[in-house]
A = this chain, B = another copy of it.
């Protein structure tokens, strides 16, 4: 049943559909047909808005990178508030959603995709590298405020936090672990580093 109406933000719709497929059926189920079928649009729509399916995937990752940038910004803004452990925990939970974890797996499993992302993420695993950098920046800011000890290495701590969280979150299948457990792990990570805020 052909309709002459222009779709409302087709890119976003396709991205959303791709996310649902990734989380529900895994990376191997993410085909162009599956995306268009999931979003209830014609096959040609994808190729009208993206030159290639590979290009679509690349933009899908970039879209998630944009969302991650917003989380990073919120983390940065939270500097000096609450506790360092809480702030980092919040950011990790927000960042390592099933969507984003699936995106990470997608990038890892598609070499061409990863190669294309070498421009935005020259080193490390896309998304995780950016997240690590954001946590690192945040810790550096907290260090300036004196909320973590100056002897702590922000780079190592960030790598640590993200690596641990990734292992933790990716281990569960689809289900996000509850906040208290994550916070506990993060606290043990930052023990001896975080200073109690003096009020």
In the complex, A164 has a CB within 8 A of chain B: yes
Q: Are A164 and B160 in contact (CB under 8 A)?
A: yes
- For the complex, give the distance between the alpha carbons of A132 and B163 in Å: 13
Identify the 10 closest CB pairs spanning chains A and B, nearest first: A163-B163, A109-B109, A124-B171, A26-B111, A163-B167, A163-B164, A156-B188, A105-B108, A27-B109, A160-B164
In the complex, A60 has a CB within 8 A of chain B: no
Instruction: State the number of copies, please.
Output: 4
Q: Which residues of A contact B (CB under 8 A)?
A: 25-29, 105-106, 108-111, 114, 123-125, 128-129, 132, 153, 156, 159-160, 162-168, 170-173, 185, 188-189, 192
13 A-B pairs with C-beta separation under 8 A:
A25-B111, A26-B110, A28-B109, A108-B108, A128-B171, A156-B188, A159-B168, A160-B163, A160-B164, A162-B163, A163-B163, A163-B166, A164-B164
From B108, B111, B156, contact of A185 by CB (8 A): B156
- For the complex, give the distance between the alpha carbons of A165 and B128 in Å: 13
- A159 partner residues in chain B, CB cutoff 8 A: 164, 167-168, 185
